[in-house]
Structure 1
Amino acid sequence: MLSAVCIGETMAMLTPVKAAPLHLATELHFGIGGAESNVAMGLAAMGLETHWVSRVGHDGFGTRILHDLRDHGVGVSGVEVDNQRPTGLYVKVPAQESDPDGGSSVLYYRQGSAASAMGRDTLANPAVSSLLENASLIHLSGITAALSPDCLSLLEAILTAPRNGRTISFDVNWREALWAGQDRAVLQRLANLADVVLVGKDEAEHAFGTTDEAELRRLMPDPKVLVIKNEAISAISLNRNGTREEVPALSVAVVEPVGAGDSFAAGYLSGMLFGLGQKESLRRGHVAAACTLTVPGDRGPLPAPDELAGILDSSDAVWAAIHVEDGQFNTNRSVTP
């Protein structure tokens, strides 16, 4: 069975109930959030044997994270529990009606977290080494590289090790607060060591100083595929052999954008692992992202297998006519398949 291993930090997430200002909130919703674990849960939902490798604190937050991942079919045998360092925490502060241009914001409490202590020693854990040795896909992100020098060293070790048939994907996942004062050239170097790189066009400007496809490919010439997520417009794959594929995004009634990029990554990467072409894999990414965009949480359920197959195999005209709302994929009936 194809297997995937996702490596990175997942934190406890608190957010005021009913979008109350933080200083007035009397109730906080407790959830979890992490880019790599979001991808892991997405890959598991698509039928892949999936594992998450990380560290959590010996606390209720860490226990909740482990339980939630297990409940979503993700293996956690490669997770270490730290008796000294805490699980990371972040607080989502909702946008306020009195400040419509302010948008939501996030407060991070992750410095010195258990996950920030991941390093090359993590690879000496027999459970971790076994998972990586047998993985078809190893998924990493730029978030981990910015957590600590030890985390950066871990990613470098994985990316420079012999592949032995494995594929390594790297989602840039730009986080301004994490990279403040750090050398951004590190991201370019790490990404160029991967086999598949995913980057949002909006974050490419911050991370690499350009949104131009040709320039991005020049900066990262070695990966087999560079996938550029062009927000609500399209997704583009640039192969090392020079071929280009662009698939328009689906029309979506957006409820909450958080987690859509991770869902796209899971959809695309699952298609790649299943041997699909670039167009089909990009479509899988769009479908998974649309499912997440139409729910308030970090992940939305996929359509039933038969419906999903019909969506993915639809003509370009039918694909362009699909509108997604409340998790339902509706097509203009006047369009000829």
Structure 2
Amino acid sequence: MQPDLITFGETMVIFDPAGKGPLRYVSQFNKRFGGAESNVAIGVSRLGHQAGWMSRVGDEELGTYVVNAIRGEGVDTSRVTRTSEAPTGLYIKERVREGSNQVYYYREGSAASRMSPEHVDWDYVKKAKVIHLSGITPFLSESCREMTLEVLRYAKENGIYVSFDPNLRLKILQKYPDHKELLLQIAKEADLFMPGYEEAQYLFGTDNPEEMIERSLDAGADQVVLKKGAEGIYFAEGDGDRGFVESFKVDKVVDPIGAGDGFAAGVLSGVLEGKTLREAVEQGAAIGAMVVTVEGDIEGLPTKKEIEAFKGTNSDVVR
């Protein structure tokens, strides 16, 4: 398969509580899977593009489950490697109340944290039109950091479009005193930088969206998309269009996890289709709104037909 988009990162098995409240009182769970990078790959695949996901999983039943499930969503998993020396990562959700989740990670020393440049199929990478990176992978381990930077270097040398979502996970970042510098280094080399408002606030030390955009462009990014939740999305190109797209309004947020990944999939699908940045952002906004109305990381990711139906029936959309 010749991939349109390739992602690199860890996908974990999720234990999703069947009820709300503290985990001490929960006795039943649903088994799912989730990871920022594979979520994006699945989202892009559902929109009609070829996507590949590269990672490592444990050589056990949970690793088999993750690979089979992602492959079943139309994503190429042929470059996923397995190891008997480390387990597949886990995380457990806690539904404290409607629309509010807590997440507990069990990923220290996981199979994916053992990724390194030697696990990358460079000939496969060279075929991609887009490489999507997140700020999670380089902080899983030193070897993952080395792999991420090597992938970034290779992509730039070979003229491959790079998108970067910082996807801050403070529980991981606390172990790395230089994490801001590394995140900004990757953003500088990326063609498209997609931070959330709170992430940009953390990285740049300002609460002004326009200043966040300018700081991102000054850092070296060619295109910037700044997500500000229910309010909307700012976007800018260094020498091109700039503007703001209002978010789609939803009556009820069921599960906010995965909305950013859905948004990224919509934007990157637009990039692959040659849309303007504004058009790509509008598509991402629609998908982000759809994702939060469904439980699970990937369950709400739509097809193009479903996006059009959503736009046509969502009468309370404010644009």
Residue 206 in 1 paired to residue 202 in 2?
yes
Aligned-pair CA distance for 1:192: 1.0
CA contact (8 A) 1:191 1:220 kept: no
Q: 1:329 to 1:309 in 2, by over 3 A?
A: closer
Name the amino acid aligned to 2:49.
L
What's the counterpart of residue 291 of structure 1? Answer: 290
Q: Distance in 2 between matches of 1:248 and 1:158?
A: 34
What's the counterpart of residue 112 of structure 2? Answer: 115
What's the counterpart of residue 133 of structure 1? Answer: 126
Q: 1:274 to 1:59 in 2, by over 3 A?
A: same
Q: Distance in 2 between matches of 1:176 and 1:209?
A: 16
Q: Distance in 1 between matches of 2:248 and 2:270?
A: 17
What's the counterpart of residue 315 of structure 2? Answer: 331
Q: Distance in 1 between matches of 2:31 and 2:19?
A: 13
Deviations 1:160-202 (CA, angstroms, capped at 9, x unpaired) = 2244331011101011101114212211111111111110002
In percent, how many aligned pairs have the same letter?
36
Q: Distance in 2 between matches of 1:270 and 1:211?
A: 29
Secondary structure of 1:275 counterpart: coil
What's the counterpart of residue 191 of structure 1? Answer: 187
Name the amino acid aligned to 1:70.
R
Q: 1:25 to 1:47 in 2, by over 3 A?
A: same
Aligned-pair CA distance for 1:298: 1.4
What's the counterpart of residue 277 of structure 2? Answer: 278
Q: Distance in 2 between matches of 1:86 and 1:308?
A: 37
Aligned-pair CA distance for 1:301: 4.4
Unaligned runs of 5+ in 1: 312-321, 323-327
Q: 1:109 to 1:310 in 2, by over 3 A?
A: closer
Residue 18 in 1 paired to residue 19 in 2?
yes
Q: Which has the higher contact order (CA 8 A, sep 6+)?
A: 2
Q: Distance in 1 between matches of 2:217 and 2:304?
A: 37
CA contact (8 A) 2:15 2:31 kept: yes
Name the amino acid aligned to 2:151.
I
User: Map of 1:228-307 to 2, 5 A cutoff?
Assistant: 228-241=226-239, 243-253=241-251, 254-299=253-298, 300-302=300-302, 305=305
CA contact (8 A) 2:44 2:265 kept: yes
CA contact (8 A) 1:174 1:207 kept: no
Aligned-pair CA distance for 1:64: 1.0
Residue 84 in 1 paired to residue 85 in 2?
yes
Q: 1:241 to 1:107 in 2, by over 3 A?
A: same
Aligned-pair CA distance for 1:96: 5.2
CA contact (8 A) 1:228 1:235 kept: yes
What's the counterpart of residue 46 of structure 2? Answer: 45
Q: Distance in 2 between matches of 1:303 and 1:112?
A: 36
Secondary structure of 1:169 counterpart: strand
Q: Distance in 2 between matches of 1:309 and 1:27?
A: 36
Q: 1:112 to 1:240 in 2, by over 3 A?
A: same
CA contact (8 A) 2:204 2:215 kept: no
Q: Distance in 1 between matches of 2:270 and 2:304?
A: 16
Q: Distance in 2 between matches of 1:121 and 1:49?
A: 24
- Aligned-residue RMSD, C-alpha: 2.4
Q: Which has the larger radius of gyration?
A: 1
Unaligned runs of 5+ in 2: none
CA contact (8 A) 1:21 1:96 kept: no
CA contact (8 A) 2:201 2:212 kept: no
Q: 1:60 to 1:201 in 2, by over 3 A?
A: same
